[in-house]
């Protein structure tokens, strides 16, 4: 029998545990996102409480935007219009009132006062984009979101014709223009047209470089990172990355911190819309081929284990759809029967393989990837003739990287070993591991007595305030957590000894660390 004092102790423990999880789940979110989450539950009072009592980490323009939504939910359209104008005076882009959540904003948009204001501002029908993506040696795609149904056209310099698409309500006014027939390894400027009129953005570079052909030795840069919570003063990181002119940018999860799978239509679209509206972000994505996978905070909740079923929990497919709509990714996953965000692309003599570490994660089956994705991974590795094969995981492979936690690959050691042993059995050379999730930058080595040692480069604090300590493990080469930062992989396969230089940068763009990896370092020596 449990005594009363034991019950009291148990109650206190459960209370403290609940508080811990609440604090942990909120720690990585800004006040405005938390307030929006309450609005998604139709709880205006809690939203106001979050805004009024959250002095720390509050962005005034964003606070005014959420206050506008609160007033609209209360039916106070006139007051909402005044608050919207205040938000714009504070620096919020006007386009935010044309983007998501469109349904909640419709009473404001239909207001005569707002329509008069909009006419004075005269914003472009193009709200978000262009976002370059799906670049190959002969093609590229351009992602857009518009205010209403529009015709979007793209003209490539030196390329005849204008490729067009039309956005529609059915696709949330999102569309992708595809262009092919391009020359490999060539820089192309491009022009964007909205309903036949050229869209001008002098502060941005409308240009990109096609990938080199797969058999061509070349030199280029790949940028990557994860964990990019919305912190306005840290958004300058995107300009710093763009300054290195990366051929590709890999977003490795926790990209916008939604943590609301059952209301992803609202919270997800809100989180993506405010990132897509940032001028620093627009500067990067208009010139760099973007690739993204999700992790727990973009897919479900913190450290979520959704299980191996395709349709359970019921929110899985809607979360994936929301994710897919907001990125310009190449074809992802295994189609309707086996959906997911895993993908691969070839950049010269480098193949990048991005994993989905959430959709099929199942502890009872001891699998993070699920059988279909794991088979795809093995086949992709086996068929690749790339000099370097970069495997990108949203969570790190290295042992002990998150002490006491089974959320990284430490929770799935059998599957990790299966993948590593497969690489060794098939004598697959040139494998580099990269990851995010940990809010710091790490370079580690995973010793493999029967093969070559794997390097793992972790970049997990692009714009987060929340920090994780550097964990001393056997394989730690170098670690850093003092500021936000990003990582680059500078590839040169023109040399007799092809190489990758792994570089880490801080939030001011100062280089922190370099490590050279030769192709021969990732080869079997016997």
Asked whether residue 54 carries a pLDDT value surpassing 80, the answer given is no
Residue 57: pLDDT band with limits 50, 70, 90: low
For tokens 């690489």, name the residue. Answer: 423
Give residue 446's pLDDT. 98
DSSP track, 100-123: SSHHHHHHHHTSHHHHHHHHHH--
Give domain 4-121's CATH number out of 1.10.4100, 1.10.3470, 1.25.40, 1.10.10: 1.25.40
Q: Are 142 and 285 in contact (CB under 8 A)?
A: no
DSSP track, 31-97: HHHHHHHHHHTT-HHHHHHHHHH--TT--HHHHHHHHHHHHHHTT-HHHHHHHHHHHHHHT--GGGG
For tokens 């990125």, name the residue. Answer: 327
Residue 159: pLDDT band with limits 50, 70, 90: confident
Residue 272: Cβ within 10 Å count: 23
- As a whole number, the mean pLDDT across the chain is 93
Spatial distance between the Cα atoms of 340 and 332, rounded to a whole number of angstroms: 6
Q: Show Cβ contacts of residue 7 under 8 Å, excluding neighbours closer than 6 positions.
A: none
- Where is average pLDDT lowest: 13-27, 265-279, 453-467? 13-27
Give residue 56's pLDDT. 59
Q: What is the CATH number of domain 126-199?
A: 2.60.40.380
Asked whether residue 6 carries a pLDDT value surpassing 70, the answer given is no
Structure tokens at 284: 């990067």
Give residue 9's pLDDT. 38
Q: What average pLDDT does this structure show over 53-76?
A: 88
Spatial distance between the Cα atoms of 85 and 393, rounded to a whole number of angstroms: 42
For tokens 């386009």, name the residue. Answer: 95
Give residue 28's pLDDT. 65
DSSP track, 213-269: PTTS--EEEEEEE------GGGTTHHHHHHTT--SEEEEES-SS----GGGHHHHHH
> What percent of the chain shows pLDDT beyond 70?
94
Q: Are 456 and 398 in contact (CB under 8 A)?
A: yes
- Where is average pLDDT lowest: 12-26, 52-66, 279-293? 12-26
Residue 23: pLDDT band with limits 50, 70, 90: very low
Q: Which fold has domain 220-522?
A: Purple Acid Phosphatase; chain A, domain 2 (3.60.21)
Q: What average pLDDT does this structure show over 302-312?
A: 97
Q: Are 120 and 155 in contact (CB under 8 A)?
A: no
pLDDT tens-digit series, residues 100-150? 999 999 999 999 999 999 999 999 999 999 999 999 999 999 999 999 999
Asked whether residue 480 carries a pLDDT value surpassing 90, the answer given is yes
Spatial distance between the Cα atoms of 288 and 187, rounded to a whole number of angstroms: 12
Residue 149 backbone phi and psi in degrees, to 5: -60, 125
The CA-CA-CA angle for residues 432, 493, 332, to 5°, reads: 50
Residue 11: pLDDT band with limits 50, 70, 90: very low
Q: Show Cβ contacts of residue 477 under 8 Å, excluding neighbours closer than 6 positions.
A: 443, 444, 445, 515
Asked whether residue 4 carries a pLDDT value surpassing 60, the answer given is no
The CA-CA-CA angle for residues 169, 172, 176, to 5°, reads: 105
Structure tokens at 454: 């794997």
Residue 160: pLDDT band with limits 50, 70, 90: confident
Spatial distance between the Cα atoms of 96 and 64, rounded to a whole number of angstroms: 12
Q: What are the residue boundaries of the structural domains of the chain, listed by start?
A: 4-121, 126-199, 220-522
Asked whether residue 19 carries a pLDDT value surpassing 90, the answer given is no
Asked whether residue 525 carries a pLDDT value surpassing 90, the answer given is no
Structure tokens at 184: 């490999």
Give residue 16's pLDDT. 33
Spatial distance between the Cα atoms of 351 and 349, rounded to a whole number of angstroms: 7
Q: CA torsion, points 318, 39, 100, 275, in degrees to nearest 10?
A: -90
Residue 24: pLDDT band with limits 50, 70, 90: very low
Give residue 257's pLDDT. 96
Spatial distance between the Cα atoms of 287 and 3, rounded to a whole number of angstroms: 66
pLDDT tens-digit series, residues 376-391? 999 999 999 999 999 9
Q: Are 56 and 40 in contact (CB under 8 A)?
A: no
Residue 508 backbone phi and psi in degrees, to 5: -100, 0
Q: What average pLDDT does this structure show over 390-419?
A: 97
The answer to whether the 126-199 and 220-522 domains have the same CATH topology is no
């Amino acid at each position: 029998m449990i005594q009363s004092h034991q019950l009291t102790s148990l109650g206190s423990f459960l209370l403290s545990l609940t508080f811990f999880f609440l604090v942990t789940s909120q720690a990585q979110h800004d006040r405005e996102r938390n307030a929006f989450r309450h609005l998604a539950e139709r709880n205006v009072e809690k939203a106001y409480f979050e805004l009024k009592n959250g002095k720390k980490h509050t962005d005034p323009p964003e606070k005014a935007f959420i206050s506008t939504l609160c007033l609209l939910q209360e039916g106070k359209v006139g007051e909402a219009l005044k608050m919207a104008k205040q938000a714009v005076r504070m620096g919020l882009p006007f386009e935010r009132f044309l983007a998501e959540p469109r349904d909640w904003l419709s009473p404001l948009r239909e207001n005569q006062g707002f329509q008069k204001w909009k006419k004075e501002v005269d914003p472009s029908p193009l709200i978000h984009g262009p976002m370059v993506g799906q670049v190959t040696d002969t093609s590229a795609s351009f992602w857009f979101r518009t205010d209403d149904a529009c015709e979007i056209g793209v003209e490539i310099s030196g390329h005849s014709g204008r490729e067009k698409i039309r956005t529609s309500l059915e696709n949330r006014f999102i569309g992708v223009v595809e262009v092919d027939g391009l020359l490999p390894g060539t820089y192309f400027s491009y022009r964007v047209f909205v309903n036949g009129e050229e869209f001008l953005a002098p502060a941005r570079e409308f240009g990109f470089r096609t990938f080199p052909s797969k058999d061509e030795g070349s030199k280029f840069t790949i940028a990557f990172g994860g964990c990019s919570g919305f912190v306005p003063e840290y958004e300058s990181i995107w300009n710093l990355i763009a300054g290195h002119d990366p051929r590709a940018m890999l977003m490795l999860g926790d990209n916008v911190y939604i943590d609301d799978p059952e209301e992803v239509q609202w919270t997800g679209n809100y989180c993506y819309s405010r990132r897509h509206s940032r001028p620093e972000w627009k500067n990067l994505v208009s010139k760099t081929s973007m690739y993204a996978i999700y992790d727990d905070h973009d897919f479900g909740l913190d450290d979520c284990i959704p299980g191996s079923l395709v349709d359970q929990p019921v929110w899985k497919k809607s979360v994936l759809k929301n994710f897919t709509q907001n990125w310009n990714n190449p074809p992802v996953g295994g189609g309707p029967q086996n959906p997911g965000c895993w993908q691969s692309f070839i950049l010269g003599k480098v193949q990048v393989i991005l994993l989905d570490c959430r959709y099929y994660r199942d502890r009872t089956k001891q699998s993070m990837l699920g059988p279909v994705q794991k088979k795809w991974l093995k086949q992709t590795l086996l068929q690749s003739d790339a000099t370097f094969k970069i495997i990108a995981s949203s969570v790190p492979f290295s042992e002990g990287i998150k002490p006491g936690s089974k959320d990284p690959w430490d929770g799935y050691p059998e599957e990790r070993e299966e993948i590593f042993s497969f690489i060794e059995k098939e004598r697959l050379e040139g494998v580099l591991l990269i990851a995010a999730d940990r809010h710091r930058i790490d370079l580690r080595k995973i010793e493999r007595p029967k093969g070559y040692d794997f390097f793992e480069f972790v970049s997990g604090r692009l714009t987060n305030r929340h920090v994780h300590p550097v964990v001393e493990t056997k394989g730690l080469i170098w670690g850093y957590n003092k500021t936000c930062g990003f990582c680059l992989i500078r590839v040169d396969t023109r040399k007799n000894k092809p190489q990758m230089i792994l570089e880490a940068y801080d939030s001011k763009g100062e280089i922190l660390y370099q490590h050279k990896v030769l192709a021969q370092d990732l080869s079997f020596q016997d």
